[in-house]
Chains A and B, each alone.
Chain A
């Protein structure tokens, strides 16, 4: 499993940054302003190398920590010819009522978690992790 599929995509990372999520992560997407090239940087020892626009490329662990006020239920199944990851969350009130927030799907577990986090913040169902 390569590193790129273990961090959330550039698009989702940008959205999380826009929403005000604290930019504290092991990896960073760095977009070169001139060329538009995107590179993935390891935070350790790369200060100063980030000559461009950056945003946190969160891992599944980091997103799990941000979602941890909820129960996170993850599954993976085959849809058509490819596998899809699906993430649900449930908090105490939902457990009592036996309900879930709508699920979010993506090609990777990390992206599915990122989409769920965006959904929860956009719908004011959780505070922005700062």
Chain B
């Protein structure tokens, strides 16, 4: 399973940063100014490069699980599509990875003020 399949997509990562989610993940999507803004995945601390690039937390399934709790999370996969729901919200969030589904739930909860950022 590729690393990219285990992390939230760049698009969702950008949205979560916009919503004020703390950027404290193991992996980050980065765009170095010196490399023409090409997007890459960076592992570990951003260190001194933090100021010379744009970055967005590329959260993992485990990190997103920590943020979504305390809630029951229901996960299933049909074909190549993942469906994730949480108890109390009558909606399935679908995506090409479990991380993306969890990210979409987090965005939904924050957009609808159903949870606060801690």
| A residues lining the B interface (CB < 8 Å) | 1-3, 5-6, 24-26, 42, 44, 59-62, 64-65, 68, 70-77, 83, 108-110
Contacts and interface: CB of A to CB of B under 8 A. Distances in A.
Contacts of B26: 1-3, 6
B42 to A, nearest CB: 13
A1 to B, nearest CB: 5
Contacts, number: 79
Contact of A6 (B62, B73, B98): B62
B93 to A, nearest CB: 14
Given A61-B6, A62-B1, A74 B63 contact: no
A74 B60 CA distance: 16
Contact of B6 (A2, A42, A59, A76): A59
A61 B97 CA distance: 9
Interface residues of B, number: 27
Interface of B: 1, 3, 5-6, 24-26, 43, 60-63, 65-66, 69-77, 82, 97-99
Nearest to B26: A3
Contact of B73 (A3, A59, A70, A73): A73
A26 B6 contact: yes
Given A26-B3, A59-B60, A61-B5, A68 B76 contact: yes
Given A59-B62, A60-B62, A72 B75 contact: yes
A44 B75 CA distance: 28
B43 A71 contact: no
B39 to A, nearest CB: 18
A60 B7 CA distance: 11
A65 B69 contact: no
Given A5-B62, A6-B60, A26-B3, A73 B97 contact: no
